[in-house]
Structure 1
Amino acid sequence: MKRYAVILIAAMSTGLSGQIARADEVIDGYSAYMGQDDLCNSSGARLTEAWQIIRQDRANFHKFGLRQRGDEDDSYFASEANRAKAEAMLQNGEISPAAARRIVRGDVTIHVMIYGKGTVGRSLKVIVE
Structure 2
Amino acid sequence: MKKIMWFMGLLLLSPLSHAEPLVDSYTAKLSSEDHFNSDGQRLKSAADIIRQDRANYHKFNIRDGEDQGDSFFGDKDNRERVPVMLKKGHLDKATQKSILNGTPVVLVNIYKNYIEVYLQ
| TM-score of the aligned structures, taking structure 2 as reference length | 0.86
Q: How does 1:62-81 map to 2 (within 5 A)?
A: 62-81=58-77
What is the Cα deviation at residue 48 of structure 1? 0.9
Which of residues 5, 17, 20 in structure 2 aligns to 1:19?
Answer: 17
Corresponding position: 1:49 with 2:45: yes
Figure out how many residues of one structure are paired with residues of the other and give that number: 107
| TM-score of the aligned structures, taking structure 1 as reference length | 0.80
Moved over 3 A (4+): none
Q: Distance in 2 between matches of 1:47 and 1:56?
A: 9
For the pair shown, the structure with the greater C-alpha radius of gyration is: 2
- Structure whose residues are more often strand by fraction: 1
What is the Cα deviation at residue 18 of structure 1? 2.7
Corresponding position: 1:100 with 2:91: no
Which of residues 26, 30, 36 in structure 1 aligns to 2:32?
Answer: 36
Look up the match of 1:122.
113
Percent of counterpart pairs with the same letter?
Answer: 36
Q: Distance in 2 between matches of 1:81 and 1:93?
A: 18
In structure 2, list runs of 5 or more residues that go unmatched.
Answer: 1-13
In structure 1, list runs of 5 or more residues that go unmatched.
Answer: 1-15, 116-120
Q: Distance in 2 between matches of 1:71 and 1:19?
A: 29
